[in-house]
Amino acid sequence: MENKGLNKVDLIFEKIDNHEVLAKGFKMSKDEIIQEILNSGLKGRGGAGFPTGMKWKFTSEAKSPEKYIVCNADEGEPGTFKDREILDRVSNKVHGGMAIAGKAIGAKKGIVYLRGEYRYLLPKLMIELDSFHKMIKKIGYDFEIEYRLGSGAYICGEESALFESIEGKRGEPRNKPPYPTVSGVYGKPTSINNVETLVTAMMIVQHGAKNFIQYGTKDSRGSKVFSVSGDTPTPGIFELELGMTVQQFVNEFGDGDTKAVQVGGASGFCVPRKKFAETIIGFEGVPTGGSMKLFNSSRSMYNVLHNYLEFFTEESCGQCTPCRVGCQQLLKGVEKVKKGEAKSTYLNELMKLADTMKIAAKCGLGQSVGNAFKSIVGNFKEEIIY
Amino acid sequence: MINLLINDQKVAVQNGTTVLAAARKLKINIPTLCNHDDLCVAGNCRVCIVEQKGAKTLIASCATPAAEGMEIHTNTLKVRNARKHIVELLLSEHRSDCTKCYKNQNCELQSLANDFAFGDHVFLDLVEDKKYSIDRSSASFIKDDSKCIRCQRCVRTCSELQSVAAITVANKGAHQKISSFHNRPMSQVVCTNCGQCVNRCPTGALVEKTAIDQVWDAIYDPDKHVVVQTAPAVRVALGEDLGYDPGERVTGKMVNALRQLGFNSVLDTDFSADLTIMEEGTELLVRLKKALVDGDKSISLPMFTSCSPGWIKFVEHKYPEFLPNMSTCKSPQQMFGALAKTFYAKKNNIDPSKIVSVSIMPCTAKKFEADRPEMRSSGFKDVDYVLTTRELAVMIKQAGIDFRNIEEANYDSVMGNSTGAGVIFGATGGVMEAALRTAYEIVTGREVPFGNLNITPVRGMDGVKEATIKIEGCVEAWKFLEGAELKVAIAHGLANANKIMKMVRDGKATYHFVEIMACPGGCIGGGGQPIPTNLKIRQKRMAAIYAEDEHKELRKSHLNPDVIAIYKEFLDQPNSHKSHELLHTHYVERDNY
Amino acid sequence: MYQVGNLVKELSDKHGHARESLMPILQAIVQKHNYLTDEAMVEVARELDISAAEVYGTASFYTFLDTQVKGKYVIRVCKTITCSMKGKSDIIQSIEEMLNIKVGETTPDNQFSLIETNCIGWCHKAPAILINDLPFTELTPEKVTEIIKDYMQK
């Protein structure tokens, strides 16, 4: 197990000369950009962790005169707020990352899908976007970005649901295949990347893949921004090198009484105290889009689970059976067990249901409801029952 | 070709074939719910999940294209357990009062549940938590959300096949439901009552509003004289609900069964279909004369047929500016109804207030049509009760009639005689063909120039059909039409109708006469026809309709002896004052939501 | 109830008449009037040549596209885990007492609506609320009372 310890880094929010980095990026061929990103081992920072270079490669290979780069700024995972901060502080790097991605995949159009909850950022972003457009025009590069807003639907963070939303429809995930790299927004080949991923890609173009892979581990290259909240004396945004254990994280951010850390938000995993030392935060251990939520011993894990299940019951798009009905069953089930109206052994049935949801739901949301459920019930069974 | 393995059996399929279709090719049955042959892929219900070697999750076979080298297993323990869970989840959201349900034993969810032979229900009942409501506002159907499994077949039907989208998926998560515009009653929205959603609903969430009990009451009421009419498309589909394969003509047995049920007189809507041709054909020729010869600018062309009440309501909601283009002719059902309580009553010396007029229709919209306030020309409700083909099958079963083994019988008369032209009203293009057979002959004195009177260009399942008929050698009275090219178009399914309407509205097409039927395939694919439906089934019914036509001695409406008689004895001539009073109607503009 | 007037026409001319314009148009109406009336949805349907039910179906999917009457200021209190742990209930209670309405309700003068919402991305500064577009964070009952007071004065 590779353990890099807890190291704070300052790359994402580092102020850069956007013009210089872009000029460098635009001089590279699309294959050079893609190769650099592939070499960096960068994986998507939204949570799913798909290799960014592969995504760009596939989209670049898709044959279509019209392609899109979409920036997923529908940051809805409970406990995640890093993309808001990135957009607030370094939106120029987001726009720049999109332009570079656009060059790599052959897209002249970029769309930022910004969650409605962050609408207050829009006036500032419009000013930033305007100067960005002027700058790339000066460089002589043909690329345009448009902002589209969400309106309060967690599921729109799912890539194909996000496309549906841009197209003016209910944010219901599509069947896959076809994947976005073949048929994305408006049915055109699309690379959809998280806000932070695009900034990181920009950074890799700036400093080179070699520099990037000095950070992190084999499976989790680089650093990433963590959103730290819950029972911690220092909640906030922290850029950390990947490859630390939960214990190291808790040593830094815990309040001395941490009993569990929810890594990756409501759709992520709950790590109990006894597993802190053995669990690496990263794709080799517990992956996260950045959400790190600490719970101390005063918290009821039943309440935590109940809150998450309510969240999913409301935020499921509702189209597929395992997710729509499964969420309701899990929620009602734990309520009944808690009240003593169902036997504690009923939790075993619910654990099996969570397994079914993992393999049978249509999209990532339904497939990940089981993560929190299984890890909380599995590790804190007594708290759920009594 | 793409080669894959399903349950270790090799199969080669065309590119784009789904795993489900590939499995079917191997006669491997994978259960489905949201999937329907007429509709786009949804992949929602997840019942059809299968295991793909190397994939982390199970895949929906209906939504996944077969790929080279794929290895699929349809019946592993993992698949079975997940599928069982999924069916149980659906049941937990569904009011399972099966024995009291209208769709009992005709329900896809029930049959799936049956396959799994659930002993104990594992999951908690969610029905009690939901404030389900039953919408009985429509004259044609009942929408019971407590039976709904959110497969969205109805929503896809309404938007894809009918381009109406009166129903939609609303809300999300646990609150997701199938809803009209802002939860309005179905009677107060753009719904055309076509019943295509009812045809495709896998459960009892959408069912016709039945009139079976009322009809039984009437039959057993000694004071009542109950007449029944049967629409052309019923005779080629009824068999499906009574153990026959699709495409079987059961006309004679149906007539006998109706008589055994106790109807006092068994008559035929085909008769009034022939009558419609006389009225509508004349109306068209008069419109053409006024527009082409007299230069009357107030005449609206093209003229649209008006037999399909779903289509009528569609125009009333969505294209009210075209209401003047609608033929003023009532549908055959309503012509029949108006005559039953006037001409028929008089001829048989029956007090019209004692007549109960029942129609057997392939259609749910006919229930709404019969209820329209305009449909009381006889001084009474012209058609009292409308039964769908399905409801008739239920009555036949209720009465214990051994349908397969009963003798064939003939319709009563008067108003029971019909021609092949009346029969083909049941298929898309049929009204057009029947009209042309008669109108062409009136204008030219000769039969239509098509072999054996079969006007093949207007037949078939193409969504929009167009034809041009050159009129030559006119008789003296119609000389003004000499050399004219009569342009006609035919559409079936309201999505196709919508295409035509847009073309006409935008001036991209000019027609003289357009036949439109609300349902795919015409009445043979009507919302009141046996379930299931798909293109193959509709094609078989269509073939049966044309076979019925070919077997008729008379095949042109104007030769129907009952039609000739009624003009002689009662109506005088087509479009006469009396005709207008009884056989023609008007339309109303409706809101577009 | 507001009269939609020419707004929908203006918006659809600006954003276009294709389906993809639906969200921007609905969002703009809500920005201006806080919720969607039936009349507004019917108008939008007409402009985009889709059915009114489709407009409703889409709007009802999105929490921020309300189809019920909402006040001039819509207060959305985050109810997800961190805000819930850090005193969301006290915040709601303060607002309820101050405005004399319950969660889900609108004041009789149509000035304020109070609703709960899912994570708004301010977990490190919980509890947090949105009033229309603006976030207010690290709230206490006292702090929220002051904020609402300011809004009442507007």
Size of interface A-B (CB pairs under 8 A): 117
Which residues of B are less than 8 Å from A175 in CB distance?
Answer: 41, 43, 60, 63-64
Omega before residue C141 within 30° of 0, cis: no
Confidence of residue C5 (pLDDT cuts 50, 70, 90): confident
Closest CA to B492 of B161, B157, B40: B161
Tell me the chain A residues in contact with residue B89 when contact means C-beta distances shorter than 8 Å.
Answer: 321-322, 325-326, 329
In a domain, A287, yes or no: no
B342 and B396 belong to one structural domain: yes
Q: How many other C-beta atoms lie within 10 A of the C-beta of residue C76? A: 22
* Cβ atoms within 10 Å of A17's Cβ, excluding its own: 10
Same domain, A30 and A146: yes
Contact B57 A360 (CB under 8 A): yes
Does B280 participate in catalysis according to the annotation? yes
Is B57 in Cβ contact with A359 (below 8 Å)? yes
Which chains have 3 or more CB–CB distances shorter than 8 Å to chain B? A, C
CB contact under 8 Å between A320 and B43, yes or no, is yes
Q: Are residues B321 and B359 in the same domain?
A: no
* Helix (H), strand (E) at residue B334: helix B332-339
Local structure of residue B348 (DSSP, 8 states) = T
CB-neighbour burial class of residue B192 (10 A; exposed 0-12, middle 13-18, buried 19+): buried
Tell me the angle at which helices A122-139 and A18-27 cross, rounded to the nearest 10 degrees: 50
Q: Which residue type sits at B540?
A: K
Q: Give the relative orientation of helices B332-339 and B269-288 as an angle to the nearest 10 degrees.
A: 110
Q: Is residue B89 part of a domain?
A: no
Neighbours of B191 (CB within 10 A): 32
Sign of CA dihedral B338, B344, B349, B355: negative
Go through the domains of chain C in sequence order and give each one's CATH number. 7-59 (no CATH), 73-153 (3.40.30.10)
B/C interface, count of CB pairs below 8 Å: 56
Q: Answer whether residue A23 is part of any domain.
A: yes
CA–CA min distance C147, chain A (Å): 17
Together in a domain, B177 and B247? no
Which CATH number does the domain housing residue B39 bear?
A: 3.10.20.740
Q: Look at phi and psi of residue C150 and say left if phi exceeds 0, alpha if psi is from -120 to 50, else beta.
A: alpha
Q: Does B319 lie in the same domain as B342?
A: no
Contact A307 C80 (CB under 8 A): yes
Under the banding of pLDDT at 50, 70 and 90, the label for residue B212 is: very high
What is the reported pLDDT for A1? 64
Is A340 within 8 Å of chain C by CB? no
Q: Is the domain of B506 the same as that of B479?
A: yes
Contact present, B177 and C56 (Cβ < 8 Å): no
Asked whether the beta carbons of residue A311 and residue C118 sit closer than 8 angstroms, the reply is yes
* Residue A75: closest C-alpha in chain C: C121
Q: Are residues A205 and A314 in the same domain?
A: no
Contact C108, C99 (CB under 8 A): no
A237 contacts in C (CB within 8 Å)? 124
Q: Is the residue at A86 inside a domain?
A: yes
Contacting residues for B373 by C-beta, under 8 A, at least 6 apart: none
**Helix A122-139 to helix A82-105 angle, to the nearest 10 degrees?**
30
Q: For B352-402, what is the HEC assignment? A: HHHEEEEEEECCCHHHHHHHCCCCCCCCCCCCCEEEEHHHHHHHHHHCCCC
Q: Is-catalytic flag, B472?
A: no
* Selected residues 77-136 of chain A with any CB under 8 Å from a CB in chain C: 77-81, 84, 115-120
Which tokens in the block code for residue A343? 């036997």
Whether residue B560 sits in one domain with residue B444: yes
The 10s digit of each residue's pLDDT in B551-575 is 999 999 999 999 999 999 999 999 9
Q: Which of residues 101-160 of A touch B (CB under 8 A)?
A: 153, 155
Q: Is-contact B522 B492, C-beta < 8 A?
A: yes
- List chain C residues with CB under 8 Å of B169: 57
* Contact check, Cβ <8 Å, A362/B60: yes
In Å, how far is C129's CA from the nearest CA of chain A? 10
The alpha carbon torsion through B275, B366, B488, B562 (nearest 10 deg) reads: -10
Based on the domain organization, do B453 and B566 belong to the same domain? yes
- The residue from A172, A189, A212 where one domain ends is A212
Pairwise CB contact (< 8 Å): A229 & C62: no
From chain B, pick out residues whose CB is under 8 angstroms from the CB of C38: 181-182, 593
What chain C residue is nearest to A164 in terms of C-alpha separation? C20
Asked if B341 is an active-site residue, the reply is no
Task: Give the C-alpha separation, A342 to A334, whole Å.
Answer: 9
| Sheet hosting strand B464-470, strand order edge to edge | B303-304, B513-517, B485-492, B464-470
Give the list of residues 6+ apart from residue A300 with CB closer than 8 angstroms, or none: A383
Pairwise CB contact (< 8 Å): C42 & B190: no
- Does pLDDT of B148 surpass 70? yes
Residues B267 and B344 both lie in one domain? yes
Report which secondary-structure segment, H or E, holds C62: none
A154–C124 C-beta distance less than 8 A: no
B267/B289 same-domain check: no
- Residue B237 inside a domain? The answer is yes
SS3 content of chain C, % helix, strand, coil (to 5): 50, 10, 40
> What ipTM goes with this model?
0.97
- The single-letter code of the amino acid at B85 is H
Could C58 and A119 be called an inter-chain contact, meaning their C-beta atoms sit closer than 8 Å? no
We report the CATH number of the domain holding residue B385 as 3.40.50.1780
Distance of CA C21 to the CA centre of its chain: 20
User: Does B449 lie in the same domain as B463?
Assistant: yes
Split into its structural domains, chain A has a count of 2
What's B131's domain CATH number? 3.30.70.20
Neighbours of chain C (3+ CB pairs under 8 A): A, B
Active-site residue (options: B140, B159, B327, B557): B327
Q: What single letter denotes the amino acid at residue B242?
A: L
A78 preceded by a cis bond (ω within 30 of 0):
no
* Residue B520: cis peptide before it, omega within 30 degrees of 0: no
pTM of the model: 0.97
Looking at residue A3, its pLDDT comes to 84
Q: Does A235 touch chain B (CB under 8 A)?
A: no
B157 inside domain: yes
Q: Answer yes or no: do A168 and C22 touch at CB < 8 A.
A: yes
Per-residue pLDDT of C92-113, as tens digits, reads 999 999 999 999 999 999 999 9
Q: Is residue A65 part of a domain?
A: yes
Can B523 be counted among the known catalytic residues?
yes
pLDDT of B293 reads 87
pLDDT in tens, C29-59: 999 999 999 999 999 999 999 999 999 999 9
Catalytic residue among B34, B98, B307, B474: B307
Q: Is residue B249 part of a domain?
A: yes
What value does the mean pLDDT take over residues C1-8?
Answer: 90
Residue B48: active-site member: no
For tokens 């207060």, what's the residue? C75
Instruction: Look at residue A9 and tell me if it is in a domain.
Output: no
Considering only the beta carbons, identify the residue of C41, C50, C53 that sits closest to B189.
C53
Domain of A200 in residue numbering reads as 18-212
Catalytic residue among B177, B209, B366, B465: B366
Which residue in the list B283, B316, B391, B433 is annotated as catalytic?
A: B283
Chain B contact probe: residue of C1, C51, C61 with most B CBs at under 10 A: C51
Q: What is the pLDDT of residues B457-500, one digit of tens each?
A: 999 999 999 999 999 999 998 998 999 999 999 999 999 999 99
Residue whose C-alpha is closest to residue C112's, from C87, C79, C141, C144: C144
C38/B contact by beta carbon, under 8 A: yes
Last residue of a domain, which of B44, B75, B106? B75
Among residues B14, B49, B75, the one where a domain terminates is B75
A59 with A208, same domain: the answer is: yes
A307 and C84 in contact by Cβ < 8 A?
Answer: yes
Whether residue A281 lies inside any domain: the answer is: no
Structure-token match 């939303």, residue found: A165
Together in a domain, A147 and A37: yes
Q: What is the pLDDT of residues B107-133, one digit of tens each?
A: 999 999 999 888 777 899 999 999 899
| Whether residue B445 sits in one domain with residue B523 | yes
DSSP assigned state of A105: H
Do residues B327 and B305 make contact, with C-beta atoms less than 8 angstroms apart? yes
Backbone angles phi, psi at B275, to 5 degrees: -65, -40
Of the residues B380, B405, B430, the one at which a domain ends = B405
CB A117 within 8 A of CB A152: yes
Euclidean distance between CA atoms B393 and B423, whole angstroms: 20
* B541 assigned to some structural domain: no
Return the closest-CA partner of residue B360 out of B483, B227, B191. Answer: B227
- Confirm or reject contact between B122 and chain A (CB < 8 A): yes
The DSSP line for B78-96 is: HHHHHHHHHHHHHHHTS--
Query: Domain containing A345 — which CATH number?
Result: 1.20.1440.230
The domain boundary, picked from A184, A212, A240, lies at A212
Give the C window 90-149 contacts with A, CB below 8 Å. 117-126, 130, 133-135
Alpha helices (runs of H) in chain A, residue ranges in sequence order: 18-27, 30-40, 52-61, 82-105, 122-139, 159-166, 195-207, 209-212, 246-253, 301-315, 321-339, 346-360, 364-379, 381-385
Residue A290 lies in a domain: no
Q: What CATH number has the domain bearing residue B423?
A: 3.40.950.10
- pLDDT beneath 50, residues of chain A: none
Distance from CA of C108 to the nearest CA of A (A): 26
Same domain, B293 and B440: yes
In the 8-state DSSP scheme, what is residue B524? G
Q: Beta strands B303-304 and B513-517: pairing type?
A: parallel
What does C102-149 look like in DSSP terms, one character per residue? -TT-B-TTSSEEEEEES--S-GGG-S-EEETTEEE-S--HHHHHHHHH
The percent of residues above 70 in pLDDT, for chain B, comes to: 100
Q: Is 70 exceeded by the pLDDT of residue B65?
A: yes
Count of the separate structural domains present in chain B: 4
Examine residue B35 and state whether it is found in any structural domain, yes or no.
yes
Which domain does B17 fall in, by range?
2-75
C41 in contact with B, Cβ within 8 Å? yes
Chain mean position to CA B515: 15
A362 and B172 within 8 Å at the Cβ level: the answer is: no
- Sorted by sequence, the CB contacts under 8 Å of residue A233 that are 6+ apart come out as A253, A255
- Summarised one tens digit per residue, pLDDT across range B14-41 is 999 999 999 999 999 999 999 999 999 9
Residue B435 lies in a domain: yes
Examine residue A217 and state whether it is found in any structural domain, yes or no: no
Q: Which of A180, A196, A212 is the last residue of a domain?
A: A212
Task: Decide if B375 is inside a domain.
Answer: yes
